[in-house]
């Protein structure tokens, strides 16, 4: 009887991550993750998670310091599953305006900007957004979640968010989910080929968040066995 291939999942450690909650979520769905900051571990892994909590500029600085920019870009180009979470999603974009302008990984075209401090009625909006909020299909787009890690999630499901900045993809086809905060509708999940990322934290979003990890894991297992 053939032994099943061990699937390697790299969780990128760049001193700005919610590493252990992501690790626990991976273990809960049957994956065997490795927390690492080594380029060779990243490039040899079957799948990758780029987590993150903190400031964009500091994160990019750390990625440069650890010589991880090119390995992350090469991994994305390899076609293997790549997941970004919170700051990890924002880092995928072209640039951010958080505490100055900073170039991102430029894997998804677009910018990262700050939530407005007031809504259209000039009422104050609390920043950062912290807590539970809903995710929805993009307007006038049916079936976009089909075949993605969100396909088993109900439209309008609550997920857990902690952030002050949000991503604005250049191309609408990269918008996988949207969320409302104040009177702003913004992108809360993205998709591009093998890249899937969420502004919210699936690992902190109870059973529905774990469903996302499980579906992502199932797709990885399917890819490595085919």
Digit-coded pLDDT (tens) for 96-110: 999 899 999 999 999
Active-site residue, from 86, 98, 157, 163: 86
pLDDT of residue 162: 97
Domain residue limits, the chain: 8-225
What pLDDT sits at residue 73? 99
H-run or E-run covering 214: helix 206-225
128 in Cβ contact with 164 (< 8 Å): yes
Tokens in use for 132?
């539970």
Element of type H or E holding 196: strand 195-198
Rg of the chain over CA atoms, in angstroms? 17
Let me know how many helices (H) and strands (E) the chain has, helices first.
Answer: 6, 13
| Whole-angstrom distance, CA of residue 7 vs CA of residue 74 | 19
Is residue 41 within 8 Å of residue 35, measured between CB atoms?
no
Does the annotation count 137 as an active-site position?
no
Residues 23, 98, 157, 203: which is the catalytic one? 203
- Is 86 an active-site residue? yes
What CATH number does domain 8-225 carry, 3.30.70.20, 3.40.190.10, 3.40.50.880, 1.10.10.10?
3.40.50.880
Contact by Cβ (8 Å): 164, 126: no
Active-site entry in 26, 102, 163, 201: 201
203 is catalytic: yes
pTM of the full predicted structure?
0.93
Q: How far is it between the farthest Cα atoms of the chain?
A: 67
Nearest of 59, 49, 41, 162 to residue 104 by alpha carbon: 59
Distance set, CA 166 to CA 10, 15, 131, 171 (Å) = 25, 21, 15, 15
Positions of the chain with pLDDT lower than 50, given as ranges: 1-3
Decide if 90 contacts 167 (C-beta within 8 A): yes
DSSP-assigned letters across all residues of 99-131: TS-EE---SEEEEEEEPPSB-TT--B--SSEEE
- Contact, 11 vs 35, CB < 8 A? yes
Tokens linked to 108: 């998804």
């Amino acid at each position: 009887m053939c032994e099943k291939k061990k699937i390697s999942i790299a969780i990128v450690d760049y001193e700005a991550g919610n590493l252990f909650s992501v690790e626990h979520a991976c273990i809960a769905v049957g994956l065997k993750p490795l927390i690492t900051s080594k380029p060779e571990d990243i490039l040899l892994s079957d799948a990758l998670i780029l987590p993150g909590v903190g400031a964009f500029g500091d994160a990019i600085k750390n990625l440069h310091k650890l010589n991880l920019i090119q390995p992350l870009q090469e991994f994305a180009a390899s076609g293997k599953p790549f997941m970004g979470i919170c700051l990890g999603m924002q880092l995928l974009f072209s640039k951010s305006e958080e505490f100055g302008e900073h170039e991102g990984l430029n894997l998804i075209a677009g910018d990262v900007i700050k939530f407005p401090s007031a809504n259209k009625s000039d009422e104050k909006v609390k920043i950062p957004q912290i807590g539970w909020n809903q995710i929805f299909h993009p307007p006038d787009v049916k079936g976009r979640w089909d075949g993605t890690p969100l396909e088993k999630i109900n439209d309008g499901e609550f997920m857990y968010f902690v952030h002050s900045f949000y991503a604005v993809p250049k191309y609408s086809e990269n918008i996988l989910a949207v969320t409302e905060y104040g009177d702003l509708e913004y992108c809360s999940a993205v998709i591009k080929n093998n890249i899937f990322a969420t502004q919210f934290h699936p690992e902190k979003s109870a059973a529905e968040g774990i469903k996302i990890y499980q579906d992502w894991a199932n797709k990885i297992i399917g890819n490595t066995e085919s």
